[in-house]
Amino acid sequence: MQLRRFNESGIKAFANFLGELRTGLTTVVPVDLLTDPSLTEQLSTPIEAEVPVSLANRMAFAKWLHSAGDASQTKFPREDSGFWAWLSLALFDHVCPADELGRRKPGADARHIIDITDWKRRYRHLLQNPYELLYLHREAPERALVVLVNPLHVPGELTEQINGRQEIVTCPGCMSLATFLCVDAKGQRRRGASGQFARLFGKTIARLSRTWDIPVMHPALSAQLLHKKKLRKMVEAAMGDAAEK
C-alpha cells in the first residue's frame, strides 16, 4: 500500500462518514476514498507499507509506522492532519473495530481527525499520538510503555491523563518512573493504574521536582520518594518485580 494524504475535501468526506456511522446511517467503511484522486494526494516522499493484519497495542503500531518510514528512508509528516486522517481510514479496522454484530463506535472526531493547532486535543488522535510518543522517546522507547501498552482503539484514562500533562510526557525520568510503576514484568498494566493514579502521580511529581532531579533519576530510586498511601501499592508491586529479575 502506498500511503497518501487527504486534501481538505477528503477530510470533509471522512468526517461525513464518521457522522453517518455514529448516527447509524451507514455501516460500510468507504475504502474507495483512500485512492480517490479528487480527495487524496501523494506524499512528498513516497512511502510503501504493508497493512498489518494485527497490532497488539499502541507500541506495536508506532513501531510498525516508524519501520515503514525507515524502510523508505524518510520521516512521516507529523504535523499533517490530512495524512493522519487518511491513515485512520486506512487502518479503520484497527482504530474502530466492529463488534460481534458488526457495529462500530468511532467516538469523537478528534480520535480520527487531528487538530494540530490545539495540543490539548491533538493527543486524542488514536494514531498520531502513539507515533509522536515513540518519536519523542525514540532513544529508549520502552520508557513510554505506560502510554503505549493499551490496544490502539482503547488508549484508556491513564493514557489520557498522562498525555494531558506535558511536563510528564516529555520528561524521560517521569515516563520511566510511570512505566516502572504501572507496567508489570509481563508488559501488562498493573491493577490500579488508572486515571486517578495519574492525577495523583502528576501532583506528587510536581512537588518532588522542587527538591529532586526526577528527570535523570533511576525509576527504582525515584519510586522510593513516593510515600502517599495510594501510590505505595504500585511502588511495592514494582519493587517486587524488580527484585525477581
Phi-psi region of 199 (alpha: psi -120 to 50; beta: other; left: phi over 0): alpha
User: Closest Cα partner for 226 from 214, 241, 243, 240?
Assistant: 214
**What pLDDT digit, counting tens, does each position of 96-106 carry?**
999 998 999 99
From CA 94, how far away is CA 99, in angstroms rounded? 12
Q: Calculate the CA 215 to chain-centre distance.
A: 21
**What pLDDT digit, counting tens, does each position of 105-134 carry?**
999 999 999 987 776 778 899 999 999 999
**Cell numbers representing residue 65 in the block:** 509506522
**Distance (Å) of CA 108 to CA 22, 87, 105, 111, 112:** 9, 17, 9, 6, 8
Q: Each residue's pLDDT tens digit in the chain (245 positions)?
A: 899 999 999 999 999 999 999 999 999 999 999 999 999 999 988 898 988 889 999 999 999 999 998 888 887 888 899 999 999 999 999 999 999 989 999 999 999 999 877 767 788 999 999 999 999 999 999 999 999 999 999 999 999 999 988 888 998 988 998 999 899 988 999 988 888 888 888 888 888 777 777 766 777 767 777 765 556 666 666 666 655 55
Strand extents, DSSP E, 35-145: 40-42
User: Closest Cα partner for 138 from 153, 148, 124?
Assistant: 148
Cβ(104)–Cβ(98) below 8 Å: yes
Domain positions in the chain: 1-136, 145-245
Cβ(147)–Cβ(163) below 8 Å: yes
pTM listed for this prediction: 0.86
**What pLDDT digit, counting tens, does each position of 24-51 carry?**
999 999 999 999 999 999 998 889 898 8
3-class DSSP assignment, residue 237: helix
